[in-house]
């Protein structure tokens, strides 16, 4: 693994055994995460984005089977670094050395991820005591105070004695973030952390996550279904569709120079705020059933840009730049030249225009 990488997922294939057949949820994905950066994984429900993070944490249900691949993680143990394969580690190793301490996760709904019968303070201190990061209760209290301060909660001593139901939704999500940060993890996974929140609270939480990354240098995987939400926080973006990564690149590349028809569709189905005359383009149909994954490019069946080969062969990752990769036959040198939809083109022009002003 390259020196600056903290996580590397290689050729991951994962399926779940169901009554009706085998559900091929993750179909050969590879990506990496550098130290201190934020990778946004964007996709619709059923695209496999949440399962990917569960695989990283070793939380795959019993009916799930890893068919192939590896997840390499740079484990920093008392200053010594070693590389471990999380996919092939034992449950107790994951519990003791990885989950909660080195890799932490924030879930979507703060109410269901907090214990309603435990005070805020005890919930934050639980994992640092469990992982023996602090020597005494006093030290734990001190650390909790600092954490609450970090996530922007006033009167830490008063808050520590309160229960989750006494706090607002935005406050609760701040607490969840504080718990995730309690053991100073090297990797933070945020699984739709703002989806259950109101817009004004959402923007506060996004600012907070950015701020925390600046202060602690933690690497972040940000899972979302909304490309709008992560524009502000992501360094790189990976777009997932039907268990595959279809486009991956720097945020500027994916937002300003998208190449995959699915990314075009996602971007143009967000109405712009500048004009109302334009129409929003919808993506026809719905995502495929992965018990019988479609042959070739899974998106071809919903795309008006599909080529004949899309229905036959799975497209490889074509390289657009050193950092930008797209899985679409449209990028093959022999493919007919296809432009993105006019609506999207116009909008991207507006963006670049507003940049000059």
Q: Which residues are at the interface with another protein (CB under 8 A)? A: 44-45, 169, 198-203, 206-207, 225-229, 231-232, 234, 251-252, 255-256, 265-267, 269-273, 276, 279-284, 286-287, 351, 354-355
For residue 229, the minimal CB distance to another protein (Å) is: 5
Instruction: Read off φ and ψ for residue 8, nearest 5 degrees.
Output: -140, 115
Nearest CA among 242, 269, 295 for reference residue 43: 242
For residue 252, the minimal CB distance to another protein (Å) is: 6
Closer residue to another protein (CB): 256 or 311: 256
Closer residue to another protein (CB): 203 or 216: 203
Closer residue to another protein (CB): 83 or 270: 270
Q: Is 73 helix (H, G, I), strand (E, B) or coil?
A: strand
For residue 91, the minimal CB distance to another protein (Å) is: 33
Quote the tokens at residue 281.
């383009």
For residue 308, the minimal CB distance to another protein (Å) is: 24
The β-bridge partners of 241 are: 244
CA-to-CA distance for 115 and 123, rounded, in angstroms? 8
Long-range residue pairs from 262-266, CB within 8 A, at least 24 positions apart, any chain: 262/299, 262/303, 263/239, 264/340, 264/341, 264/344, 265/302, 265/303, 266/42, 266/227, 266/239
Pair type for strands 38-42 and 236-241: parallel
For residue 321, the minimal CB distance to another protein (Å) is: 16
Pair type for strands 244-250 and 219-224: unpaired
Quote the tokens at residue 266.
């996602």
For residue 161, the minimal CB distance to another protein (Å) is: 23
Q: Decide if 230 contacts 236 (C-beta within 8 A).
A: no
Closer residue to another protein (CB): 276 or 337: 276
Nearest CA among 178, 296, 182, 309 for reference residue 246: 296
For residue 210, the minimal CB distance to another protein (Å) is: 9
Closer residue to another protein (CB): 98 or 239: 239
Closer residue to another protein (CB): 207 or 211: 207
Closer residue to another protein (CB): 76 or 350: 350
For residue 216, the minimal CB distance to another protein (Å) is: 20
Please tell me what DSSP assigns to residue 289.
P
The β-bridge partners of 219 are: 187
Closer residue to another protein (CB): 48 or 287: 287
| Residue 349: CB atoms within 10 Å | 10
Q: Is 273 helix (H, G, I), strand (E, B) or coil?
A: coil
Closer residue to another protein (CB): 74 or 347: 347
Nearest CA among 197, 224, 245, 289 for reference residue 38: 224
For residue 198, the minimal CB distance to another protein (Å) is: 4
């Amino acid at each position: 693994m390259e020196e600056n990488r903290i996580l590397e997922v290689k050729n991951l294939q994962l399926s779940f055994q169901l009554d009706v057949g085998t559900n091929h949820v993750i179909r050969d994905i590879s990506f990496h995460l550098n130290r201190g950066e934020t990778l946004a994984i964007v996709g619709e429900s059923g695209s496999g984005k949440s399962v990917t993070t569960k695989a990283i944490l070793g939380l795959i249900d019993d009916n799930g089977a890893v068919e192939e691949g590896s997840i390499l993680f740079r484990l920093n143990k008392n200053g010594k670094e070693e590389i471990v394969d999380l996919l092939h580690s034992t449950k107790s190793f994951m519990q003791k050395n990885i989950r909660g301490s080195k890799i932490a996760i924030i879930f979507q709904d703060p109410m269901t991820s907090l214990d309603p019968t435990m005070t805020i303070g005890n919930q934050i201190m639980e994992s640092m005591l469990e992982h023996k990061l602090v020597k005494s209760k006093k030290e734990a209290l001190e650390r909790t105070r600092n954490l609450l301060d970090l996530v922007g909660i006033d009167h830490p001593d008063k808050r520590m004695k309160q229960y989750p139901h006494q706090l607002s939704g935005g406050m609760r999500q701040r607490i969840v973030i504080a718990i995730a940060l309690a053991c100073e993890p090297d990797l933070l996974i945020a699984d739709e952390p703002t989806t259950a929140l109101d817009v004004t609270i959402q923007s506060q939480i996004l600012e907070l996550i950015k701020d925390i990354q600046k202060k602690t240098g933690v690497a972040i995987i940000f899972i979302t279904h909304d490309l709008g939400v992560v524009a502000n926080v992501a360094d790189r973006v990976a777009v997932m569709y039907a268990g595959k990564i279809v486009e991956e690149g720097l945020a500027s590349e994916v937002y300003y120079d998208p190449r995959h028809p699915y990314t075009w569709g996602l971007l143009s189905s967000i109405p712009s705020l500048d004009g109302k005359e334009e129409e929003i383009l919808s993506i026809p149909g719905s995502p495929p059933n992965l018990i019988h994954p479609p042959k070739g490019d899974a998106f071809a069946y919903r795309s008006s840009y599909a080529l004949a080969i899309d229905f036959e062969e799975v497209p490889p990752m074509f390289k657009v730049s050193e950092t930008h990769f797209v899985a679409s036959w449209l990028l093959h040198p022999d493919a007919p030249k296809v432009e993105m939809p006019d609506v999207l083109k116009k909008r991207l022009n507006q963006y670049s225009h507003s940049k000059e002003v």
